[in-house]
Structure 1
């Protein structure tokens, strides 16, 4: 477990860029935290680091998933906030996204414990005007060197 202090939006964006550099096909990043904690800020920075700096990155809140092509793997950005059943995540392609690609998952608690094995859990909490990210590695992320 690693805890990072994120004093401002720029630090949250830097974390997203750092995470982007560490990803491999089959990985999942699971982002939790209250509304306004910075999950979308981190996700946009990560996606732009893997695509282009001016990539349009809409929130997938209503579409549930947005797909991106990167230089090395496909990336699927899931927002599971509106799901009522964990099976719905798999119906919209979570398994397929992890088969040769990477899944970035906001609101993974909607999966009710049916989380991907190879994942990095990132819980962002509000800490006054700043944020705190608690990062826990699972599966193939365990023992992997991550530069933050």
Structure 2
């Protein structure tokens, strides 16, 4: 990071507020599927639990051990994840990754809250942490689909 101003912009009040108030930050008692992911570079981890109705998320729990950016991403996801299906999560994942790595647009609604992470585009070492919650959720849905297919 090039200076204190950059650091302050990256960890804006909005990001810190999201990080402090992560929705659905409790593990589920009887999930249909659980996935834990770790970002090797920084050591951040996220565990997600899903209760599903087909490929639609009916309940969601998460345990987030990440930097403020990873926590903010988990917060954005936790606020909108209920009722989303596998295709919507996959699209949001791909759009967030493109936003960070390729300068793509903010993900479509209801995932447009990821806009708060636009300042992190230039901080490639933070991208893995930002992608953890969405990546774990996508992996959990893929795992459940494979299990259902037998």
Higher relative contact order (CA 8 A, sep 6+): 1
Output the TM-score relative to the length of structure 1. Answer: 0.27
- Identify, as 1 or 2, the structure richer in strand: 1
Output the TM-score relative to the length of structure 2. Answer: 0.27
